[in-house]
Structure 1
Amino acid sequence: MKFLEGRPCFFGEHMTRLQRAIAAAGLSVQIDVRELRERAAKLFEAEGVESGVFKIIISDVDKDTAVAMFVRNGTLPPDPEPIKAIQSEVSKASKAFTSRHKSLNYMESVLELEKAKAAGYDECVFSNENDHLTECAIANLFWIKQGVLQTPKLDCGLLDGIVRGKIIGMAHQMGLSVEEGEFGVQDLLEADEAFVTSSGNGPRSISSFTDLAGNKKSYVVELLPRLRSAFLELEQEEALKSE
C-alpha cells in the first residue's frame, strides 16, 4: 500500500479488501481499522519516512492472531518507465483463492516474473485454464482496442486491485467506453495501447508484448498520460483528506 506524507492511500478500500480475504479464507480474525491506521502512522514516524510503500500482513495460527506491518520502500518510485511484457507459460486457476486474493502464497508469480526478467522482459502476462487473460505477476492489466478500454473481468481469476477499480471509475467519468470481459492473447496483440496498474506505481505503460509463439506487438502511448495524471491527483487528494 502506498503512503504519502505519512498517510496511507485508499486505506479504506484496502481494508475492505483485506476483510473480504479474511472471510474467504475462513479465518476468525477481527481487525480494527482505526487501530491499524494509528499503527501505520506510528510506523512511518518510527522509520522516519513520509512517503513510500508499506505492507500489512494478518496471520491466524491456532486462533492466535498476529498483525505484522512494515515499510517495504521508504521512498516513492520515480515516474515509471514503460515495460516490456511476455506471455507466461503458466495458467492460473480462475477459481483459486490465490488468484483472487492477495496473500503471501504467490511463489508462482514470483518465479514467472524472475523468468521473464531473465529473458529481458519486465513483466509476464498470465491466462487462466480457459485461455482467458487474467493479470500480470504484480499488476492488473489494461489495454485500449478501437477506442475501448478493456480489462479482464474478476471472474477470470485475478486480484480486485484498488488502482484497477479507480482507473475503471475514472475512465467512465471521462466518457470512455470500458469493457470488463473474457479476452484472449489475440486481443492484446490487436490493441493500440496497453498498461498495467499497481498500488506502488499506479498506471504504467506497456511498450511491447510478446506471446508464446514469438508474436510481438508494440504500443503507442496516448490515453495513459491523461489517466495517470488524473489518478495521481486523486491519490494525493484521498491520502491528504484521510484521518
Structure 2
Amino acid sequence: MPIWLNGVLANNAVAEFNLNDKGLLLGYGVFDTALVIADKVAYREAHLEKLTKSCAALSLPVASSFLSEMMEKAAKDLPLGVIRITVTGGVGPRGMAFSPEAKPNVIVSASPIAATIFCPEIRLVLTPLRRNESSFTARIKTLNYLDAIMAVTEARQKSFDDALFLNTAGHVACSSTANLFMIRDGCLITPPVSDGILAGIMRANILRFAKSRDIPVEERSIGYEELLEADDIFLTNSLRLISQVTHLGEVALPRRSAALMALLESMVFDEINYSRSQ
C-alpha cells in the first residue's frame, strides 16, 4: 500500500514524522476517502470540494491544487481501490488553540479493494451512544472517530455489522460511517443535516437521482419507532455505495421496495461507469 507524506512517497510506509503534530496529540485534522475505478477517482470534484472546505473550516492552509495532484497520483495504476487523504493540524505551540504558524501534514494512501465491498447487506443495531447534533465534528470528517469505533466494535461483538446512532434529541442520525435512508410508500426519507449527520457525497447523489426520476423525497427528522415501520432502509457512503439493511436489531425488515432499490443501484453503477460483472 503506497503512502505519501507531503507529496513524498514513504519507503515501506515509514517516514519521518514530528510527534508533536496536533493531529496525533489532539485529533486536530480532517480526512476523506474516495473510490477509485480504472485509475479514476469516482466523484472526484465532489471529494476535492468537500476536503478543501473541511480544511478551510479548521484553518488548515492546504492548497486545493496540491490535494488534486495527490488524488491523481494516488489513483494511478489502481484498477479498483480506495484512496484516503488525511490533513493533520501540524506542529505548533503547546496548547489547544490552533497556531497560524503550524504547517499541516498531508498523508495520502492508496489501497486495492475487492468488488465485494459494493452494496453489502447490513445488520444494524442501535447504540446507546448519541450523535451530538450541535458538535462541529458531526458536520466534518475530523480525526475524532472514537464514538464510531466504540459503537461498531460493540455492534460486531453482538454479531451485527454496524451501529445506528440517534442524536441527543432521540432522532435517527446515521450509522458509524454512512448516511441513512428509509423508504415508505415509495418515498425516500432521510434525516436533515441539522440532526447531526455528515452531508455525504453518496447521499447527495441519491437525492439528485431521486429528483431526476420524480421520486418523492423528504429530508426530515425520523423517530426510531417510525424506522421500524419502514418498507426498506439503506445506508450510503462513497465505498459501499448503497447497502440494504436487512435487520434492525432483532427485527427483520420487510424489504418491500426491490424495484426502487434496484433502480438506485443501477443509477449509481451507471454513473461511476462500473459493471458488476467485472
Q: Distance in 2 between matches of 1:32 and 1:99?
A: 23
Q: Distance in 2 between matches of 1:219 and 1:103?
A: 35
Matched, 1:41 2:72: yes
Q: Distance in 1 between matches of 2:252 and 2:222?
A: 16
Deviations 1:74-123 (A, max 9, x none): 02432433111011111111011111111221011011001101101111
Which one of the candidate residues 220, 230, 236 is aligned to 2:273?
236
Deviations 1:29-55 (A, max 9, x none): 13233x33332333344xx53221110
Larger Rg: 2
Matched, 1:102 2:134: no
Secondary structure of 2:217's aligned partner: strand
Structure with bigger RCO (C-alpha 8 Å, 6+ apart): 1
Which TM-score applies when normalising by structure 2? 0.77
1:225, distance to aligned residue in structure 2 (A)? 1.4
Q: Distance in 2 between matches of 1:88 and 1:167?
A: 26
What residue number does 1:241 align with? none
Secondary structure of 2:159's aligned partner: coil
Alignment-mate amino acid for residue 152 of structure 1 = P
What residue number does 1:165 align with? 204
Secondary structure of 1:65's aligned partner: coil
What residue number does 2:261 align with? 224
Matched, 1:150 2:189: yes
Which sits farther off after the overlay, 175-184 or 36-45? Answer: 36-45
Q: Distance in 1 between matches of 2:35 and 2:215?
A: 27
Give the structure with the larger helix fraction: 1
Q: Distance in 2 between matches of 1:28 and 1:8?
A: 23
Q: Distance in 2 between matches of 1:139 and 1:219?
A: 21
Q: Distance in 2 between matches of 1:194 and 1:150?
A: 9
Matched, 1:207 2:246: yes
Matched, 1:52 2:81: yes
Which one of the candidate residues 4, 28, 32 is aligned to 2:64?
32
Q: Distance in 1 between matches of 2:114 and 2:35?
A: 8
Check whether the contact 1:77–1:201 (CA below 8 A) recurs between aligned residues.
Answer: no
Matched, 1:3 2:3: no
Which runs of 4 or more aligned residues in structure 1 lie more than 4 Å from their structure 2 counterparts after TM superposition?
A: none
Secondary structure of 2:248's aligned partner: strand
Percent of aligned pairs with the same amino acid = 24
Matched, 1:116 2:155: yes
Check whether the contact 1:29–1:60 (CA below 8 A) recurs between aligned residues.
Answer: no
Check whether the contact 2:52–2:64 (CA below 8 A) recurs between aligned residues.
Answer: no
Q: Distance in 2 between matches of 1:80 and 1:147?
A: 20
Give unmatched runs, 5+ long, in structure 2: 1-33, 93-101
Matches within 5 A, 1:59-208: 59-61=88-90, 62=92, 63-71=102-110, 73-78=111-116, 79-208=118-247
Q: Distance in 1 between matches of 2:114 and 2:202?
A: 16
Secondary structure of 1:36's aligned partner: helix
What residue number does 2:53 align with? 20
Check whether the contact 2:36–2:83 (CA below 8 A) recurs between aligned residues.
Answer: yes
Secondary structure of 2:104's aligned partner: strand
Q: Distance in 2 between matches of 1:133 and 1:118?
A: 22
- Give the superposed CA RMSD: 1.7
